[in-house]
Amino acid sequence: MIAHPPSGEVDDNRGWAKTGLGHTLQMVFDANEAEEIRQKNPDYKETLELGNPFSGEVAPNKWLPEHLLPGFRSFVESWWTDCTTLSHGLYRSLGEALEIGDEDYFCRIHSKNDCHMTWNFYPSMPLQALHSADAKRLNAHTDFGTLTLVFQDAVGGLEVHDGHTFRPIVPVPGAIVVNVGDMLEQQSNGRWKSALHRVVAPGQLMKPGSVQVRDGDGSVINRYSLVFFGVPNPEQMIKTAPGCDEPGKWRPNMNGDWGTLSARQWIQKRLAVEY
């Protein structure tokens, strides 16, 4: 009823994507190489893809009829509004931290609030399968945009690479994980690193009283996460922000022989090989 089209077009990135439809890749743009990775190392998740529920300038969301899921649309609209408010507060903090002399710079380039939401469901699966070096619930990748807000449940399995190794991000009740994305890495001129992250089997060590992450037959239980992606206005060219002329220690992901891209062009480039 609200199925995600089997397309990597930006405007098609709406609706429910079954397991196996989308496939997470990291900086792979060759179709043959992408297909080889898809066959060898598939994701194991379902997603619901949503956009700005109030804008008439972006592709419309696909909604279930109200009688099938009462209150869902109103919750999404409220959650989107809260995330947008929080993200704009963070954008102002970015300007201050980077000392660019214009704390509203990032708010202005996000003025259309063309943000994206991905709600993830990771079905229960055998733990033994996740012990394979190639098996992940979600393959390692960086996010496309500026900032990502991640709301994870208590199951665990999220890991972030610190430049040397992957480290678990242990769930903390009430906490939001904030990731730097590709576009902010580019805008900060490599002073901040786009967070390479993945979802694997939950860690072996669980604190007393924590959620039981495995069931009786040796499977990892269902996992859920809600993700809000802050993305600049579609036409915004992603280049070094004012005052960030001095490069940092990281080489931005967006550097390549394709030249400077707009926010929409970069998202399209990465989505094209994932569906």
2-47 pLDDT tens trace: 999 999 999 999 999 999 898 999 999 999 999 998 888 888 899 9
Residue 1 lies in a domain: no
- pLDDT classification of 212: cutoffs 50, 70, 90: low
**Adjacency order of strands within the sheet including 116-122:** 15-17, 46-51, 116-122, 223-229, 147-152, 177-180
Residue 36 lies in a domain: yes
Query: What average pLDDT score do residues 101-127 get?
Result: 92
Q: Which residue from 196, 191, 190, 96 is spatially nearest to 148, judged by alpha carbons?
A: 196
Mean pLDDT value across the chain: 90
Residue 4 lies in a domain: no
- Position 200 scores a pLDDT of 87
pLDDT tops 80 at residue 61: yes
Token code pair at residue 170: 């242990």
Q: 266: exposed, middle or buried (C-beta count within 10 Å: 0-12, 13-18, 19+)?
A: buried
Query: What average pLDDT score do residues 217-230 get?
Result: 89
Q: Which of 84-88, 167-171, 211-215 has the highest mean pLDDT?
A: 84-88
Residue 3 lies in a domain: no
pLDDT tops 60 at residue 204: no
Instruction: Kindly provide the residue ranges of all beta strands, DSSP E only, lying in the chain, ordered along the sequence.
Output: 15-17, 46-51, 116-122, 125-126, 138-141, 147-152, 158-161, 166-168, 177-180, 197-199, 219-220, 223-229
Please report, rounded to a whole number, the percentage of residues in the chain having pLDDT higher than 90. Answer: 77
- Position 207 scores a pLDDT of 45
Radius of gyration of the chain (CA): 19
More confident residue, 218 or 197: 197
pLDDT digits over 65-96, tens only?
A: 999 999 999 999 999 999 999 999 999 999 99
Q: Output DSSP code: residue 17.
A: E
Query: What average pLDDT score do residues 126-144 get?
Result: 76
pTM above 0.85, yes or no: yes
Q: Output DSSP code: residue 174.
A: T
Residue 266 lies in a domain: yes
> What are the φ and ψ backbone dihedral angles of 147, each rounded to 5 degrees?
-125, 145
Q: Which residue from 139, 135, 95 is spatially nearest to 241, judged by alpha carbons?
A: 95
Give the number of other Cβ atoms within 10 Å of residue 47's Cβ. 24
Please report, rounded to a whole number, the percentage of residues in the chain having pLDDT higher than 70. Answer: 91
Residue 151 lies in a domain: yes
Q: Supply the CATH number for residue 190's domain.
A: 2.60.120.330
The structural domain count of the chain equals 1
Q: Which domain holds residue 135?
A: 10-271
Residue 66 lies in a domain: yes
More confident residue, 216 or 229: 229
Which residues, including other chains, have CB under 8 Å from residue 179's CB and lie 6 or more apart?
143, 147, 148, 150, 160, 194, 195, 197
**CA separation for the pair 40, 171 (Å, rounded):** 29
Token code pair at residue 59: 């592709």
- Position 216 scores a pLDDT of 58
Residue 73 lies in a domain: yes
**CA separation for the pair 75, 35 (Å, rounded):** 37
**CA separation for the pair 103, 114 (Å, rounded):** 20
- pLDDT classification of 205: cutoffs 50, 70, 90: very low
- Position 39 scores a pLDDT of 85
> What are the φ and ψ backbone dihedral angles of 11, each rounded to 5 degrees?
-75, -10
